[in-house]
């Protein structure tokens, strides 16, 4: 029996700014799914939310600083280099070409993003390209929430697998990952910084220092 190829994880977002919630999610997914690496992909122009106010160059550099020194993390700027909206299906198509047909790819989503999946561009195509790992807090009733979305519920029932099974094939599964709850949000961090409140111990120190040097988020 041939050796299985370790899966790679994909974690996208505006990262405005990147914080310990993002990084802890990457670590939890890497442990639970046996990921060889988690690729952090900053979005340029998300389709279903407002464009980030912080320039892409700053967001990219903050992600690079956050990932520095962690061999499990890689940073990919392809969405920032691509013109127009950042569609995940396009990014996954390019990554599938890079990683090859047999490498398992795991797209890591929070529960809220997963429940909005039917609004994404060509969302059913994602299952041909990757697995989806849905991160929830312990006790979160994901199944009940998914039932409210008929198309999504059908995919959930069809494709749900245990996390270890994701390494057995390149794409097509949905697995649930329960992680400790870290109540950190980028919008809250931006609000804190705009009023001069401390964000230390919510962001990596290198990111805190970068924000201060470049006077981002209203810091004077």
Q: Which of 59-68, 92-101, 113-122, 135-144 has the lowest mean pLDDT?
A: 135-144
Report if residue 193 sits inside a domain.
no
> Which pLDDT tens digit goes with each residue over 133-163?
999 988 888 888 888 899 999 999 999 999 9
Give the global pTM: 0.94
Give the model's confidence band at 48: pLDDT under 50 very low, under 70 low, under 90 confident, else very high.
Answer: low
Report if residue 20 sits inside a domain.
yes
Report if residue 219 sits inside a domain.
no
Give the model's confidence band at 2: pLDDT under 50 very low, under 70 low, under 90 confident, else very high.
Answer: very low
Identify the pLDDT of residue 209.
Answer: 97
Q: Averaged over 186-195, what is the pLDDT?
A: 95
If one compares 218 and 34, the residue with the highest pLDDT of the two is 34
Identify the pLDDT of residue 220.
Answer: 67
pLDDT(1) > 50: no
Report if residue 218 sits inside a domain.
no
12: domain CATH number?
3.40.50.620
Q: What is the mean pLDDT of the chain?
A: 93
> Kindly report the CA angle at 186 between 61 and 126, in degrees rounded to 5?
80
Report if residue 155 sits inside a domain.
yes
Asked if residue 198 lies in contact with residue 192, where contact means CB atoms within 8 angstroms, the answer is yes
Report if residue 206 sits inside a domain.
no
The CA distance from 98 to 74, in Å, is 14
> Which pLDDT tens digit goes with each residue over 72-112?
999 999 999 988 888 999 999 999 999 999 999 999 999 99
Report if residue 174 sits inside a domain.
yes
Identify the pLDDT of residue 51.
Answer: 80
The whole domain housing 124 covers 8-181
Q: The tokens of 107 are what? A: 């797209």
Domain count, the chain: 1
Q: What percentage of the chain has pLDDT greater than the value 70?
A: 98
Helix (H) or strand (E) holding 78: helix 78-81
DSSP annotation string for 163-214: GGGGGGSSS--EEEEE-------HHHHHHHHHTT---BTTB-HHHHHHHHHH
First to last CA, the chain: 60
pLDDT(184) > 70: yes
Report if residue 190 sits inside a domain.
no
Backbone angles phi, psi at 73, to 5 degrees: -105, 140
Identify the pLDDT of residue 144.
Answer: 87
């Amino acid at each position: 029996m041939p050796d299985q190829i370790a899966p790679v994880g994909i974690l996208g977002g505006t990262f405005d700014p990147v914080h310990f919630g993002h990084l802890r999610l990457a670590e939890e997914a890497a442990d639970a799914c046996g990921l060889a690496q988690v690729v952090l992909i900053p979005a340029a122009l998300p389709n279903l939310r407002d464009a980030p106010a912080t320039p892409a160059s700053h967001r990219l550099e903050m992600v690079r600083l956050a990932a520095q020194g962690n061999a499990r993390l890689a940073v990919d700027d392809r969405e920032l280099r691509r013109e127009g909206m950042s569609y995940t299906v396009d990014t996954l198509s390019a990554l599938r070409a890079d990683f090859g047909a047999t490498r398992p790819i795991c797209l890591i989503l929070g529960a809220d993003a997963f429940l909005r999946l039917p609004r994404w561009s060509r969302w059913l195509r994602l299952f041909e390209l990757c697995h989806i790992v849905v991160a929830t807090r312990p006790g979160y009733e994901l199944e009940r929430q998914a039932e409210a979305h008929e198309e999504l519920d059908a995919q959930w029932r069809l494709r749900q697998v245990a996390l270890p099974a994701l390494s057995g094939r390149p794409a097509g599964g949905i697995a649930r990952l329960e992680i400790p709850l870290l109540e950190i949000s980028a919008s809250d961090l931006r609000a804190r910084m705009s009023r001069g409140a401390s964000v230390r111990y919510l962001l990596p120190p290198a990111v805190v220092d970068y924000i201060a040097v470049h006077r981002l988020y209203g810091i004077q």
